Each structure stands twice: as C-alpha cells, then as structure tokens.
Amino acid sequence: MGYWLWKIFKSKGLTDQAIAGTDIFLLPKQGIISNLLMEFQPRSGSENQDIFVADAVTKVEVIGNGSTVICSLDGRQIQASMAHDDLKMPPDKEYSPSGGCWGYFDIRFGRYPGDQKYALDCSKWDSLELKVTYDLAAGGTIGTSGFTTTTAYVSIYGLYSPDGAGLAPVGFIKKAEKKTYTTAYENDEDLALPTDYPYRRLLLFAETHACYTYQAFQYVTIDVNNGARKPIDNMLGDDLMIMGLAIQGNPLWTHTKRYYVVSGAIQIHPPIRWIKNAHWVIYKGYGMQSLDPNQLVISGTATGWEQITVQGYSPWGSLIIDLERQSGKDGREAMEDCWGFDQKADIHLKHTQIIADKASSIVLEQYATPPA
C-alpha cells in the first residue's frame, strides 16, 4: 500500500510583475504526483462585479519532455472538471471591493485525489514543468471592475509520494482543450477526435456569459466509423444536459460571491448556468429584477455590496459526456461499454450552433500512458 504527503512545491508573489504573464515551475524528477492544487490570490478592484478568479487564470499547462501535453486548460475548464468530479463547486473566496480573493484549481492526474491507479509518475519523464499563464485584466479594468496588481500570489501544492513506494499507476488522466470556436448562426462543426488514448469524458463549454448552452450546442452527435454507430445522435443540447445530470445522480451545484453594486440595474453572471434559484444577503436594499438560466439582474438606488448564492445545473456553462460514470469502468473498457468501440475507431464530434460571435470550446479527458 502506497502513501501520499502534501508538499508545497512553490509559493511566490506576482507583485510588480506585468498585468499578464506566464510563470514556469519545474516538477520533481522522481516520485509520483496525484494532483497539483494551485491557489491563485489576486486582489479585487474597487467595483469587482461580474468577474471571477477563474477569469484571470487564462491557461494552466503541464508539459512533459518539452512538448508532450499532459494538461492544457484554462481556469474555468479546470474548475468545471473539478465540479464534475466532486459534484460540488470548488472552494473559493470572491470578495469585493478591494479585498483579497482566493481561487483553487486542482490539476488532477487521477480520477480523484489519492487515486493509486492513475497518477503522474515523474520518473517516467526526462522533464516536467507546470506553466501558469494569467491576466489580471481578464474580464475587467485593472483596479476598478477587474483585479489589481497589488499583493497577488500563486501557491502550488502537491499530493505527492516522494519515493513512490507501493504505488504502480497504470497511467494518468490527460486533460486538454481540443478546439475553441467563435460561433456562427446555423453553423455545423465536425471535430475529428484523437485515436491515441481511451476517452474518459468530453466537456462542451458555452464560454460567453450571454450564451446559452443549447445555442452553442444545438444538436450534438458522436459519429463512429462514418455512421456505423452513433452513441449520441442529433441530441439537443438541453437533452444532453439532462442525460449528463441523470448519469451523475442529478446534482445541484452551489456558488456564493459578494458583489459590489452601484445605483441602477446590475447584471450578474455566476459561474453556474441553468440557474434554478438565487438567494442573497441584502446590504443596500437591492432586489432581483429578473432571473433567467444564465444571469440575474438586480437593481437598487444605493451603492454597496450584495452577497448572492446561486444554485444550478451547469458548472461554467458545461455539458458533459461522461463515459466513466456511465459505465462504472475506466480505461478502454469505459469506451467499449458505452460506445462499443475504443479510441482507435474514427470518431467525430459534430454539433450545430445557432448563435453568432460567441466563444465555445471542447475539452477531452483521456486515460493516457507515460513514455516507455
């Protein structure tokens, strides 16, 4: 039986650095890493209304041997993957105005922290590096509606077995964005999926706040071997949502943030879409003006903060095709049990968009193996 220790790999300030940049952290050459937990701590601006710490984390990459992608996701995608693993939103602290914020981003190489079957065996690689790209201006204006460049920190923790004793992982879970889109009205997309490793799950994101998931993914098809089999056939995005929820046991995700509001109507776009309900702590007498699946609008006549808790069904606007949870298996068996084929088949993800000029993306998680 193996064991794990929590190790602080790095903690550093971003103070006096550029508003945007990339920091590179070298990972150990020996031992086994289950997951890397990144704590990102920017400071909110004076108004910080409708942005989140995840917006400032524009890319997190784990690269092996200089070029092999082990993980390549942005902050929202990492948190959505965590939410679908845990069936709850990641912990965070989103305060404003001019307060410290914390966001947590767990890069998991297994199915869950401490997974002994899937983990990153550092000894199998000549080099491993973690690259964190950030932009404190993402989603807002520095110092006001966005974050500030004062007192920003990043810390990297690892669930780590220094000698790997008693552990023999068969591989690791690779997570990568496969495609980004700027949507077009009544546009059909056809993405050829890779043939290298078995699939764990697919995540389909409607990235733009004002975009409904069904608009970015109106119809979705998984086409195997040019129509020989279609495990998902022209399924509406809303129906895909219901299917994913049923497989997961119908979870309801919850998120809380303190917003700084000014006089008038304020649009709030929480990190959970398909909103079911919202609750808030009133400081300046604001009330809800409207609520739809993507946003709520609050209005009032004073300036102050409102703490709002939202519950809903879609972390960061994501739809999920979860082979692992559907089959109860992993590796190649998960694909064969769900689709009747493994990754070596000719597999295409096709979808139709019915809205223009919105951002969307597709993430694939796979059961991968290290270099021989």
197: Cβ contacts below 8 Å, ≥ 6 apart: 174, 343, 366, 367, 368, 369
Examine the pLDDT at 39 and tell me if it is beyond 60.
Answer: yes
Contact (Cβ atoms closer than 8 angstroms) between residue 336 and residue 306: no
Average pLDDT over residues 150-175: 91
Per-residue pLDDT, averaged over 6-19, amounts to: 75
Mean pLDDT of 46-72: 90
Q: What local confidence, expressed as pLDDT, does residue 52 receive?
A: 87
Residue with more model confidence, 333 or 143: 333
pLDDT-derived band of residue 224, with 50, 70 and 90 as boundaries?
Answer: very high
Closest Cα to residue 283, out of 257, 307, 309, 255? 307
The reported pLDDT for the residue numbered 95 is 65
Three-state SS for 346? coil
- Neighbouring CB atoms inside 10 A of 98's CB total 15
Given this model, what pLDDT does residue 342 score?
85
pLDDT tens readout for residues 89-124: 998 877 666 777 889 999 999 999 999 999 999 999
Higher pLDDT: 153 or 4? It is 4
Length of the chain (residues): 372
User: Is the pLDDT score of 53 beyond 80?
Assistant: yes
Confidence of residue 267 (pLDDT cuts 50, 70, 90): confident
The dihedral sign for the CA sequence 284, 289, 293, 294: negative
Q: Tell me if 200 sits within 8 A of 324, measured CB to CB.
A: yes
pLDDT of residue 97: 65
Q: Write down the pLDDT at residue 19.
A: 82
Distance CA 74, CA 55 (A): 8
pLDDT at residue 264 in the model: 74
Asked if 38 contacts 154 with a C-beta cutoff of 8 angstroms, the reply is yes
pLDDT category at 280 given cuts 50, 70, 90 is: confident
**Across all residues in the chain, what is the average pLDDT?**
89
Specify the pLDDT at position 96.
60
What does the domain layout of the chain look like in residue ranges? 5-161, 182-248+339-368, 253-315
Q: Is residue 353's pLDDT more than 90? A: yes
- The full DSSP string for 263-306 is SEEEEE--SEEEEEEEEEEESS--EEEEE-SS-EEEEESS-EEE
pLDDT band per the 50, 70, 90 thresholds, residue 148: confident
Q: Does position 49 have pLDDT exceeding 70, yes or no?
A: no
Confidence (pTM): 0.95
Q: Does the pLDDT of residue 16 top 60, yes or no? A: no
What is the average per-residue pLDDT within 184-207?
96
For domain 5-161, give the CATH number.
2.70.9.30
Q: Is the pLDDT of residue 35 over 70?
A: yes
> How confident is the model over 135-139, as a mean pLDDT?
82
Across 255-270, average pLDDT: 79
Residue 206 pLDDT more than 60? yes
